[in-house]
Amino acid sequence: MKSFALLIAVATLLAVPAGAQIFYENGPINGNVDAWTINFGFVVADSFTISAGTTTITGMSFGAWLEPGDTLQSAEVQITSQQLGGNIYFQGQVSFTQSGCVLNQYDYDICTETGSFKGPTLNNGMYWVDLQNAIDSAGAPVYWDENSGIGCHSPGCPSEAGENFESIPSEAFSMLGTTSSSGSSVPEPESLMLFASGVLAAGALVRRKLS
């Protein structure tokens, strides 16, 4: 059986679609502290920063908590100028590919979810990505892993975050895209990995848990 100890023993690199690069990351998946519901009417928003020049967003990856054996099929992604508001630069139901799932101590599968989409082209600055209306194979709750931005490397991290306008610690995710400033892809940090060693000790139980 898969064990959560694999998170410590094995560092699994973030799955990045061909042609895409990570331009912002908020640190590795924690998988052992907390997570926030992104379906059943709950919306979670995290800030991200563009700092390498004009960037076209092409996707994102995030850490999810799921019932064992469950599969995330899609989630609504929204990119805005403010937390859960302001200018809407992108909004759509995005299909996600699931990988690297391991079982944690709360009997949830902790998985990397990666999705591609035709996002906006944005200048340097801070923006927000919102996740909601997640659809899974079992009709069960889907949670976004909370990591408080610990271990992040990008300018502007750790992210600010909110759930239904309530301030919360930030989540594990990476934004994918290309920059037109130098005519090449945004370089991916060599040390970046969504699953990484150094998993934190257990803390609060999953919030917004729907049973």
Domain boundaries, the chain: 6-15+22-179
Write out the CATH class of domain 6-15+22-179: mainly beta
Count the helices and strands in the chain (H runs, E runs).
1, 14
Cross-strand bridge partners of residue 25:
174
Per-residue pLDDT of the chain (211 residues; tens, 9 = 90+): 333 333 433 333 345 555 569 999 999 999 999 999 999 999 999 999 999 999 999 999 999 999 999 999 999 999 999 998 899 999 999 999 999 999 999 999 999 999 999 999 999 999 999 999 999 999 999 999 999 999 999 999 999 999 988 999 999 999 999 988 544 444 443 333 443 333 333 333 455 543 3
Determine the Cα–Cα distance for residues 175 and 116; give it in Å rounded to an integer: 10
